[in-house]
Structure 1
């Protein structure tokens, strides 16, 4: 008769092996996608070099997930790698810039929302997104008087930078249609920050909400898209783990001969 414990161990080993294979497959897919991105950048660099008869080039990109992609021609490679240290210094520089301009950014965003969006659009946006937050507003009935954890309390670090009058702080937990416009702006900011950096989720809900599509103007849609992208960039910049990468894994090198020939610059991958 088979030992139950032995069977369980075998099942666990098989399951672990399957999970390992799945993780390896996902890593391989990500690596292939990364190489594809590198090839695209390589082709664009080559075209620019040909067009302008370039003698040398350097570039540094912080990708959407925060990883640096850098490159240099052979005659500038040593300076770019040893003196500039873009791949090591870019994260710190970006974070300093974000922190220095954070107050102005939040205030400008709040003003942009207030000036661009109508009161009705804000109400529909909040009604739509409140149901999609985690936990959903449906778990916190208005009659209970208890607000969900993502509802602004007025104690958030960014709240004081909104310029909301004290009498409107914090916004009471009510239906969006019953809130004053400055309060709606604050709640909208809170929801966006709650879902950040998964901005794609907000965009998905907006695109699939017929009420929002019918109500929002093109100007409002464009403005919201830019606000979401800005918030995502701020979130990535403040997330130190998003910048883990190595210089060698994402570096383009081109020799002087590449500039004057049909040979493409190559990646050190």
Structure 2
């Protein structure tokens, strides 16, 4: 699978988390890097954009030679990058047969904005209509829908259906930002409009850096391996939950996950 996203120097999110997740789920990861970031568990301290032509070149060369069973996008940063990625994918796959998982990364765990405000419209109009599934959290969903608060599970379902109306085949709306002590609820609206509800316990931990990247990549890897969307979602959620539960506790801020929990004595997921 091809991952189009930014690099995380701290290794917890972005391309680094993507490669770890895909590899530990026994799939093969290729990359087109859109930006370099200087960051650690305490935050993002610098972003260096990759030239657009070089982003396009990475995508073209990888898909032309190795091919792919699925593409996953993460941090794209600007409207120009979003447009360049969408154009490159359309050129490589003019009939739109290649599944596309879009993680609309907007804000890092420490609060640093990773998608320019003026790029939200490009994400909404250029990339979402091409997506097989999008995986926003609640703040990202609110931004994509142009405002409003998503503060209940009932409102989550309404928002997921509103997001699907923007063009993606399916929407996985993650409920981790809901306030309260109830279970963690994620909602999947599939291509036929069916609702799938996933629940799990909330884990009291600061080791949550890269959860969104990891979930989307685990989902994409599972799709590449032939699972249907609902089963792929369940597998990805189980993988992330165990990665959080067994996190190594590195850093002074939001620490990374244990992507390698499928290796050795833990067995496969």
TM-score normalised to the size of structure 1? Answer: 0.21
TM-score normalised to the size of structure 2? Answer: 0.21
**Greater Rg over alpha carbons, structure:** 1
Higher helix share: 1
Q: Which has the higher contact order (CA 8 A, sep 6+)?
A: 1
Higher strand share: 2
